[in-house]
Structure 1
Amino acid sequence: MTTLYAILIDGMIYASWLFLVAAGLTVIYGVMRILNMAHGSFYAIGAYTGASLVGWYFAGGDGAPYWSYLLLLAAALGSGLLVGWLVEQGLLQFMYKRDELLMVIITYALLLILEDTTKLIFGVDPYFTYQPYSLLGRSDIGGLTFANYDLLLILVSVLIGAGCWLILNRTHTGKVLRAVIQDREIAVAMGVNVKLMFALTFVVGTTLGTLAGALTAPAISVSPGIGVEVIVLAFAVVVVGGLGSIEGAIVGALLVGLTRSVAVHLAPEVELFVIYGVMSLVLAVRPQGLFGRNLARKI
């Protein structure tokens, strides 16, 4: 039973982190049909910004420790809104009618540019921001000890997933976005400001990426290359669940997270391969992903 508890809780924690990373990626693709390779860089920017602000705050030594959580959120929102707006207005708005494959190449180039820009701004030395992680203490569950910060990430991912689903399915803005997804040209003909919808979507997706980075920063060593590492995992999740589907991202994150947890506890030698094994099996049976839909292409 102890091993079962460990597998379930570790799997849920890892799945919540995977969903946080993949949520922005699937939102952007779902509306804009852009497979954003630069999403990992947005994650890294959020992590570096959050680690820098929190490190500066604790270096002063005068403030209340719990304010550091607000600083993490402020870092994520500020960096996400700024970088998302600059990238969308300065680059992507001129590329919307281009081929999807070209957009992949463009966002990959953006990934390389942002990786080097991050090094120029923050340096190459790792950042350690452990205070918010240890501040919440630990809890015993089924005879095992878990960090409360990790358990809090599960709640955060649930709230973000529920919020995204409610916005897309229960609000006027969500219905407009779904109309844009179904037929962009008809949406324009009906008076929908598609450019504005695209800009809002990209900024929201970017902010979700920086939020994932900022919330992860206290639990990791923030160092160069973290953006490249997470983008591979994010792609695995959204491909398994189905590109552009929030429900698919949730199920994909749970499937990948629990499968990896089983491998870590029962067969650690295959842990590095199990994620891609799950992806291969799903795609062999359902190439569009578990919740993906076949889309008509204009010729």
Structure 2
Amino acid sequence: MLNAVAIAVDGLGFAAWLFLSSVGLTLIYGVMRILNIAHGGFYALGAYSSAWAIGLYTQTGNTIALTYLIIPIAALIAGVASGLLIERGILKFMYGRDEVLMVLVTYAIFLILEDVTKLIWGTESYISYQPAYWLGTIDVFGIPYTIYKFLIIGVALSVGLALFLVLNKTRTGKLLLVVIEDREVSSALGINVTKFFTVTFVVGATLGALGGALTAPEISVSPGISAEIIVMAFAVIVIGGMGSIGGAMIGALIVGLARAASVHIYPPAELFSIYLVMAAVLAVKPYGLFALAEGRKI
């Protein structure tokens, strides 16, 4: 019983983190058809910005409660600034080019962002445990868990619900779905496709930064976290289906529970459990569980 509870709670916590870190990646691909390897860089910028700001703020002896406001602000600044700069400064000149070229360009941006974080914050680790520690713990069937973990789960659910409502219940979301379906027809109908691309990329970058900012209080923020998250984020969106928000949520849940089960039942399997699940899903559904339908142009 305790093992099942531990697997469920740990799996949900890990899934929430994965969803927040990967949903921006699948959003950008769904709208722009860009396999954005630079997404890991946005995650790292959010994590470093959050950890640095929290550390700077708490050193003055101020109340820790306000750090929960610092986290989203740090993510917003990091995501909007970097996303807007990269999309307007680099990617807009690449639209319409071969997809392989876009992968190479975003990979180059990923390497640049990795060095940018080192130039700004150095190579030392940043630890900002205060927000996670301040909330305390809660017992779930006798197993103590930080309340902060459940906060991240709540944020992940809120982000997923917000994206669903925007895409399906608003005029902007419906226009975006038209852009996803056919860019050329959208332009002919007077829809500003370039504006939609810019906003989508900035939102995706901000979501990636939010994933990093929320995770910062639970980890040691150090060089290399961007490479770690981009590998797992790709696994999540490949399992769920490239471009599908719902697929990213289901993919994150599957990966989270699989990893938690391997940790509690057979720890050596943790290293490859994620990729074993991905291989099993792709063997049955080569394009993922909820891959968006691709239209054919004749």
The DSSP-based 3-state class of the residue aligned with 2:64 is coil
- Distance in 2 (CA, whole Å) between partners of 1:298 and 1:215 is 42
- Distance in 2 (CA, whole Å) between partners of 1:133 and 1:143 is 20
Once the 2 structures are TM-superposed, how far is the Cα of residue 143 of structure 1 from its aligned partner? 1.1
Counterpart code for 2:261: V
The match for 2:268 is 269
- Distance in 2 (CA, whole Å) between partners of 1:81 and 1:294 is 30
Q: Contact 1:43/1:210 (CA < 8 Å) preserved in 2?
A: yes
- Distance in 2 (CA, whole Å) between partners of 1:221 and 1:293 is 36
Once the 2 structures are TM-superposed, how far is the Cα of residue 21 of structure 1 from its aligned partner? 0.5
Please give the per-residue CA displacement for 1:249-296, whole angstroms capped at 9, x wherever unaligned: 010001111011111100111111110001001111111100003413
The match for 1:100 is 99
The match for 1:159 is 158
The match for 1:42 is 42
- Distance in 2 (CA, whole Å) between partners of 1:145 and 1:285 is 38
The match for 2:19 is 19
- Distance in 2 (CA, whole Å) between partners of 1:65 and 1:269 is 38
Count of residue correspondences: 298
The DSSP-based 3-state class of the residue aligned with 2:59 is helix
- Distance in 1 (CA, whole Å) between partners of 2:199 and 2:292 is 24
Q: Contact 2:239/2:288 (CA < 8 Å) preserved in 1?
A: yes
Q: Contact 2:244/2:292 (CA < 8 Å) preserved in 1?
A: no
Q: Contact 1:288/1:294 (CA < 8 Å) preserved in 2?
A: no
Please give the per-residue CA displacement for 1:208-249, whole angstroms capped at 9, x wherever unaligned: 011111100000000001000000000000000000000100
- Distance in 1 (CA, whole Å) between partners of 2:50 and 2:72 is 8
Asked if residue 32 in structure 1 is aligned to residue 32 in structure 2, the reply is: yes
The match for 1:52 is 52
Counterpart code for 2:102: M
The match for 1:224 is 223
Q: Contact 2:137/2:147 (CA < 8 Å) preserved in 1?
A: yes
The DSSP-based 3-state class of the residue aligned with 1:222 is coil
Taking structure 2 as the reference length, what is the TM-score of the superposition?
Answer: 0.98
Q: What pairs up with 1:66-105 in 2 under 5 angstroms?
A: 66-105=65-104
Please give the per-residue CA displacement for 1:6-32, whole angstroms capped at 9, x wherever unaligned: 010010000001101111101101100
Asked if residue 243 in structure 1 is aligned to residue 246 in structure 2, the reply is: no
Counterpart code for 2:130: Q
The DSSP-based 3-state class of the residue aligned with 1:292 is coil
Counterpart code for 2:77: G
Please give the per-residue CA displacement for 1:56-87, whole angstroms capped at 9, x wherever unaligned: 001111x2210111111110001111111100
- Distance in 1 (CA, whole Å) between partners of 2:63 and 2:147 is 19
Please give the per-residue CA displacement for 1:172-221, whole angstroms capped at 9, x wherever unaligned: 11101100000000000000000000000000000001111110000000
Identity of aligned residues (%): 55
Once the 2 structures are TM-superposed, how far is the Cα of residue 298 of structure 1 from its aligned partner? 4.8
Q: Contact 1:256/1:278 (CA < 8 Å) preserved in 2?
A: yes
The DSSP-based 3-state class of the residue aligned with 1:36 is coil
Q: What is the CA RMSD across the aligned residues, in angstroms? A: 0.9
Please give the per-residue CA displacement for 1:118-152, whole angstroms capped at 9, x wherever unaligned: 10111000001010110100000111000000111
Once the 2 structures are TM-superposed, how far is the Cα of residue 165 of structure 1 from its aligned partner? 1.0
The match for 1:119 is 118
- Distance in 2 (CA, whole Å) between partners of 1:158 and 1:296 is 30
- Distance in 2 (CA, whole Å) between partners of 1:298 and 1:127 is 50
After the TM superposition, which parts of structure 1 deviate over 6 Å for at least 4 consecutive aligned residues?
none
Taking structure 1 as the reference length, what is the TM-score of the superposition?
Answer: 0.98
Q: Contact 2:243/2:292 (CA < 8 Å) preserved in 1?
A: no
Counterpart code for 1:28: I
Long gaps (5+) in structure 2: none
- Distance in 2 (CA, whole Å) between partners of 1:283 and 1:292 is 11
